[in-house]
Structure 1
């Protein structure tokens, strides 16, 4: 690594990412409440700003020399926790199919697919990649989990300034902290950021498609109930991952002594 990890670097990168998003939305006159409703709004409000913000994070990651630790981790925790990404995908599938694709034009689907893939890449590289690496330079793993999830939640506060209500923004931030915790566990269990990127993208894709659809609720909507299982397994997984990581650190200290 060219630069040693420190927490302030993590915070600076997240702030930079948010600033680029906010500046782009400001200059394009984006209204968060209508983002993803048409192909044009998805291109303006998702693809363009997220592409610019992701380019920023990717360039900073390269300059810091953090690509390796940002993308890879030592797999930690019991193997059964691999059920967590499966539960997240099932929930996202329920969101995607909850109202079908009625009223959703093909161009919008393709634009949302591109935009949410960029969101998955950009937000995960920023929060579960660079932020995790930077925070590890200043905190133990409990602090890394808490502050990376908190930064993920705070990132969504920007929506308040672009048309989203205060109540909806607060609810989104609380949920972001919870799903951020789940994605942190996924990173630790799988040992790779790539899985986090893909399931994050699929989750957002399902959410935007469901929001754009004009169809009635379908039986597939019941799959969205897996979100409660996601939260429960994420909490259990967090405890197990942090406990195993602490035990590994203690064994390493004993051997060193």
Structure 2
């Protein structure tokens, strides 16, 4: 008869282990910090967009910074810094195409003209804010989430699937401020989560995917939210095209992600 699992126990290596319900509570707390903090900052400043440096600072930097501190505070408490920041599951070399395609979309998708109009200070504040997003979400979902699922004995295929589904599902909370448009966003975010999971795997850690995640969000914002006249910026199409391109590649190559030795050993 197996021993019942406690909410917070230790692994054979001595570090703490989370049950699924406790992980869910951690995620809920993380979301509450961001959503309620954002609403509070909006109420205090009276600005519900990110068109000014002040709005980005109060509406993004403060709540996202608190959420980031919470995420890495939890990681430190659990003793998970190494398994969160390092990944010992290798992939085949071709998977490098995932971060490379992301980088190309970022470099050519940023609206440099709009940023020049907004000024250096605004650009730096927005860049910091989006890095808070990248490091916070990757720390929570590709960090804590992946470790939780692995600790429960899931195969890497299921770790990739469920960590991505959870990542997409939590974005349904954006319905608080964005209404029904949160549903297609959640679906796209789930797909992006899988790409970031593969980036974590191929780069053997949680750093590159965190940086790319932040830069990708930065790119999307420069092509949409910060344009005062809301005119179409063609560069925004690059990040959008990234999804079907990578999805097609991964659909074809999905069975050759792990090294041959790992596949044969299953």
- Of residues 100-109 and 180-189 in structure 1, the stretch that sits farther from structure 2 once superposed is 100-109
Q: Secondary structure at the match of 1:73?
A: coil
Q: Out of 130, 133, 136, which is 1:122 matched to?
A: 136
How many residue pairs get aligned? The number is 247
Q: Does 1:14 align with 2:27?
A: yes
**Cross-structure match for 1:2:** 15
**Cross-structure match for 1:108:** 122
Give the distance between the partners of 2:50 and 2:252, measured in 1 at CA.
34
**Cross-structure match for 1:25:** 38
Q: Deviations along 1:89-140, whole A, 9 cap, x unmatched? A: 1122333138643642332211111101111111100010011001112222
Q: Out of 174, 188, 211, which is 1:159 matched to?
A: 174
8 Å CA contact retained: 1:117, 1:201 = yes
8 Å CA contact retained: 2:92, 2:259 = no
**Cross-structure match for 2:71:** 57
Q: Report the Cα offset of residue 213 of structure 1.
A: 2.6
Give the distance between the partners of 2:260 and 2:197, measured in 1 at CA.
15
TM-score of the two chains, using structure 2 as the length reference: 0.82
Give the distance between the partners of 2:28 and 2:93, measured in 1 at CA.
35
CA spacing shift, 1:158–1:79, aligned 2, 3 Å? same
**Cross-structure match for 1:254:** none
**Cross-structure match for 1:70:** 84
**Cross-structure match for 1:232:** 248
CA spacing shift, 1:119–1:236, aligned 2, 3 Å? farther
Gaps of 5+ in 1: 251-257
**Cross-structure match for 1:255:** none
Q: Secondary structure at the match of 1:29?
A: helix
Q: Does 1:87 align with 2:101?
A: yes
CA RMSD across the alignment: 2.7
Q: Report the Cα offset of residue 14 of structure 1.
A: 1.8
Which structure features the higher share of helix residues?
Answer: 1
8 Å CA contact retained: 1:90, 1:226 = no
Q: Report the Cα offset of residue 242 of structure 1.
A: 5.5
Q: Does 1:197 align with 2:213?
A: no
Give the distance between the partners of 2:115 and 2:62, measured in 1 at CA.
24
- Of residues 126-135 and 152-161 in structure 1, the stretch that sits farther from structure 2 once superposed is 152-161
8 Å CA contact retained: 1:97, 1:218 = yes
Q: Does 1:247 align with 2:260?
A: no
**Cross-structure match for 1:253:** none
CA spacing shift, 1:245–1:176, aligned 2, 3 Å? farther
Gaps of 5+ in 2: 1-13
Q: Report the Cα offset of residue 146 of structure 1.
A: 1.5
Taking CA–CA contacts closer than 8 Å with sequence separation of 6 or more, which of the two structures ends up with the larger relative contact order? 1
